[in-house]
Structures are given as C-alpha cells and as structure tokens.
Chains A and B, each alone.
Chain A
Amino acid sequence: MSLLDVERLTVDLATPQGTLHAVRGVSFAVDRGETLCLVGESGCGKSMTSLALMDLLPKAASRRAVRLSFGGVELGDLSPARMNDLRGNRIAMIFQEPMTALNPAYTIGDQMTEGFRRHKRVGRAQAEARAVDLLGRVGIASARERLGQYPHQLSGGLRQRVMIATALMCGPDLLIADEPTTALDVTIQAQILRLLGELAEEFGLALVLITHDLGVVARIATRVAVMYAGEIVETGAAADLFAAPRHPYTQGLLDCIPVPGRTPRGSRLGAIPGVVPSLVGALKGCAFRSRCRFARPDCETDIPWRVDARGHGARCVLA
C-alpha cells in the first residue's frame, strides 16, 4: 500500500445557494520519493483537496472518503488530538504566501522550533541546532543569526526557504506544498523548485504539489493529476501525460501555453471557450462537456474511468 492512499475523497461546502461540491470523488496515491502534482485552474478543488488531507478545511466544509489512509492509518478515524500529532510532524505543509504563513510577531527561530519541541519533546538548544542545520540545507547563509530575525526582515524567496526548512523540522514523510512558488519571482521559483526536488529525494519524502502552472508540473512531477470542476479528469506519469494528453481539457490547457521553439511566434494560441460550470447542486456526466469541442450526447452519462497499462487514465468517452 502507498504511503498516502486516497479513494473517492469528497468535500462539500454549505453555501447560501446550496451545497457546493468542491471536490467530487478524487482518488490518488503517493509513495515516498514520488512527486504528485495536482494541477488545475482556480476553483478546480485542488486546494480544498490539500486542506482535506490535512483536516484543515473551513467550518462550512465536510469531508468524506472511502479511504484516506496515511502510513496504514485511516485519517478519517483519528481524533483531533491524534491528527494534531501527525500534522506538522509526519505530514507537513507549505503555503503559497510565505509572508502570511509566518507570524510577524515571532522570530524565525521561535516559529521553526515550536512544532519540533512540541512533537519531539526536546529542549530549545537541540531544536535550534536542528533549525540551523536545516536552514543551511535550504541555502540560507549565516543561519544562526537568522534565527533571531523576524519574517519581515527576509525577502520573499528567503521566507519560502524558511517555510520549507520549518516543514522539514520534524522529518515528515509527506510534504504538501500548495502553490509554493506562485508568489515568487521566476528565478527564485526555479531555485525553490530545485531545492524541493533535491530535498524530497534526500529525505525520501512523498511530495504533493498543488499548482496551476503546467510548466512547473512538467519539470518536477513524477505523476500528474489534472483537476477540473472538483474531479480528476486525467492522471498519469508526467512523461506520458505531456507527450499524449488524453482528456480534451488537458489538451486545451497545453494548447493555451506558448512554448518557445514549438509555438510559432505571434501565432494564435489555443483557447478553451466558456467557463467552469457551477458546482452547486447535482452534476451528472462530464463537467467539461459544455466547453469541449468533441462533446457528444453520451457525455451526459456517467463516464467510466479508463486506464491503460502504464497507469495513464482519463475520464472521457474518447479516451
């Protein structure tokens, strides 16, 4: 069994207009040493999925799953106290905006060591030694001095490095990164992604990376899950999925992005007409059919998941 095994995860949100089905029966698995990328546009449910894994959903949301097992333990059965023991300890998370994820009132050292001291029950000196060690590992010079600094004294790139080092403090098995480089400049993004990849390998982490950027996905994912309207519409090994996308939505997304050397300069880019359907109320059939140029009558029925021998699957009548 994989380290993280999710089967038919559903997240419903109560809204004044009715129940919003933010995540609709999502299944995936990640193992140590693997990087799974959940990719999709705004509102596709990718962030809700990550919050559901951490049990950090907003109050109005409810989570259901056939299986939500982590290291053989069913997360759905855990008490809030037991979940707290796992969170930040064996499952760590880094967020998009390192400025708001760090508390401006505490020093870097306080924030890095707090969770470690609580989870591992060790003293300040030992925790600080580990913090210094990890800050050095994520490429921060004069780490000892940084511990006494406050978040606003660091640049965005350095703050995200601090976030990563903090996430690694307890030696987690699973690291969930929600748009970790979206707020960063492109050169810093490349550096942070490289760092994440190296660390995942070095520490044997299972990495779940949530992003909207197919470029990022192509470069670091081992497996990819493309999400649309709360569902995974296509999944597969990164190489397979980018070489031969099987779902029209994945194809459409890739057509939208100019690739230097491949897309003729100044040519018209692909486009996906229409907008994402409302996720309030019951949905049937393929959610993408209203925007799909291959749509046909049987798209309105429930579409089975079709997987090939290499584990490249898509939810489409054409696949």
Chain B
Amino acid sequence: MSDATLEASAAAASPDPRGVALRRVAGHAGLMTGATLLAAIVILSLAAPLIAPHDPYAQDLAKRLAPPIWDARGDWSHPLGTDNLGRDYLSRVLWGGQISLLIGFSVMIISGLIGSTLGLVAGYFGGRIDLVVTFIVTARLALPVVLVALAVVAVASGSLLVVILVLGLLKWDRFAVVMRSATQQVRHLDYVAAARAAGASTARIILREVLPNVAPQLIVVATVEAASAILLEAALSFLGLGVQPPLPSWGLMISEAKAYMFFSFWLIAIPGTALALLVLAINLVGDGLRDTLAPDGRA
C-alpha cells in the first residue's frame, strides 16, 4: 500500500479540537464575564458560613432598618444594613445565594433527567413512542406552573423541598423538546448506523454515540432552565407560595421588604440586584457555551 500512506501522511495533525474549544472559550468575552461572575457568586454563597458577619436569623430589634454603608447613617457592623426585624442583610443575602443556587441546580438536575430521557427516547425510536412522548409534553405544557405550585402548596404547605419538586417535575418540557429534535438529527447519521451494524446495543448507541453529540444543546438548555428556575422560585416565594420565612430566600426577602419600599429602598434593591446578577451570569454562560460548543459538525 505504497501510495496509501501518501495522502495520509500529508495533512494530519491539525490542532486537537479540545484545545481549540478551550481557546475559543477563553476568547469569548461574554462567556468569561459570565463565568467569572457566576464563580464569584457560587464562592461567596458557599462560603457564607465563614464570611457572613452575623447569624442570618439573629434579630436585633433595636437596630431595625439600619441603612447600608454607603448611606451617611450606615456603619460597618452591618455593611448592607438590617431588615425590618434587625437581621443583618449582608448575611441574609449570602445565605440566600445558597438557596437560589440549590434550587437552580436541583431543578436543573431533576427536570434535565426527566426531559432528556424523554427527548432522547422519543427522538431515537420515533414512531409511536415519539407520539406518546409528544402527547405527554403537550399535556405538561397545558399545566400552568404557578397554578400547580399554588395548589400543591395549599395541600402540602410550602417548603424548599416542595418548591424543588414542583419545579423539577414540571419544568422538563424544554429539555424534552430540544433533546428530541437534536436526537432526531443525530439518529440518522451514518455513525449511528455503523454502530448498529457493529452490533452495539441500543442503550450503548444512545449513551455513547448519540448523547455526546447532543450534549452541547443539553448544556445550553440546562443553563437557561437553571436561570428560569431561580427566577420562578423568587416569584413563588414573593407570592408566599415558595420558601417559607424565616429562610433567607432572595424572593422572600423582596416580598418582606415591599412594605418598606419607599423608606428603605435598599431592602428591595439588594436582593433584587443579587438575583439579577446571578441570572445574568448564568445566561451569559449559557449563551457563550452555545457559541463555543456549537456542534463541530462537518467542519
């Protein structure tokens, strides 16, 4: 096979695609901004037990509604001031971050597992299975999340666990829809046929041949869904349907502060800003990943 090696030896060894992907990630300004911001929020929240200056539940009624440090009347004992019960606001915001992250992460995992399993199965097998899954997705889309949450909380009373379960069991639709169409595209490619012709089992083909190639879309949906779960939790807590006092959820903090909106604006502005920054960070990361992980396809 003399001439066989000729063509082969010539090209070759263009850079490793993983190295290329890493360099693309590093060169993406939005992604790097989002990732830095997200990392900062995660670290600050996780380190809350170490860095929070006060117990987030400790009330000091003598120092109610103390203003934050940038106000002329503020002082360093409560850098972000205190709320209407005199609890240290900085400590509550830091601990509240844990709740938001916990909700975003858990809901993403639960709904991701349900949705991508349904989507992969529907997309891979097609036919009747696809019809059934599509029907389930349509049925799920007919359920308004907030109303269901209202009903569940009325029955089971609100708690962190209930919020996670309600959102996790309801918000898998986008995973299912995106995974289904992504799988349909990959499913008809020849490397799937080649794996079948090699005798590989269906489970193996779905997990080893299909899943890695739909992972970029999965990751992008996961970020979008995590951000949306965090916002929904805040909304539910604001309405009193979510996390119950005295837990320091950002949504709940905004809700508790609404009576003082005109006198102590920071009570709303601080958790609101924290929430906006977290969601912005996650969405920047999601957008960035969409740009950089875009399936290499034929290129």
Are chains A and B native binding partners rather than an unrelated pairing? yes
Which A residues have a C-beta under 8 Å from some C-beta of B?
268, 271, 273-275, 290-291
5 contacts between A and B (CB under 8 A): A273-B3, A274-B6, A275-B7, A290-B10, A291-B10
Q: How many pairs of A and B residues are in contact by the CB < 8 Å rule? A: 16
Contact of B7 (CB < 8 Å), options: A268, A274, A290: A274
Closest to B7 in A: A273
Residues of chain B contacted by A274 (CB below 8 angstroms): 6-7, 10
Docked pose: A273 CA to B11 CA in angstroms: 10
Closest 4 A/B residue pairs (Cβ): A273-B6, A274-B10, A271-B3, A275-B11
**Interface SS majority for chain A:** loop
Residues of chain A contacted by B10 (CB below 8 angstroms): 273-275, 290-291
Q: Name the distance in Å between B170's Cβ and chain A's nearest Cβ.
A: 39
Q: Name the distance in Å between A239's Cβ and chain B's nearest Cβ.
A: 30
Interface string of B1-34 (1 = CB under 8 A from A): 0010011001100000000000000000000000
Docked pose: A291 CA to B11 CA in angstroms: 12
* Of A274, A290, A291, most B-chain CB atoms within 10 Å: A274
Closest to B6 in A: A273
Q: Name the distance in Å between A231's Cβ and chain B's nearest Cβ.
A: 20
Q: Name the distance in Å between A120's Cβ and chain B's nearest Cβ.
A: 42
Docked pose: A273 CA to B7 CA in angstroms: 5
Q: Name the distance in Å between B28's Cβ and chain A's nearest Cβ.
A: 13
Closest to A269 in B: B3
Residues of chain B contacted by A290 (CB below 8 angstroms): 10
Docked pose: A290 CA to B3 CA in angstroms: 15
Q: Name the distance in Å between A141's Cβ and chain B's nearest Cβ.
A: 36
- 14 additional contacts (CB under 8 A) given A274-B7, A291-B10: A268-B3, A271-B3, A271-B6, A271-B7, A273-B3, A273-B6, A273-B7, A273-B10, A274-B6, A274-B10, A275-B7, A275-B10, A275-B11, A290-B10
Docked pose: A275 CA to B11 CA in angstroms: 6
Docked pose: A241 CA to B192 CA in angstroms: 45
Residues of chain A contacted by B7 (CB below 8 angstroms): 271, 273-275
Q: Name the distance in Å between A263's Cβ and chain B's nearest Cβ.
A: 16
Within 8 A of A (CB), among B258-279: none
Q: Name the distance in Å between A48's Cβ and chain B's nearest Cβ.
A: 19
Interface string of B47-65 (1 = CB under 8 A from A): 0000000000000000000
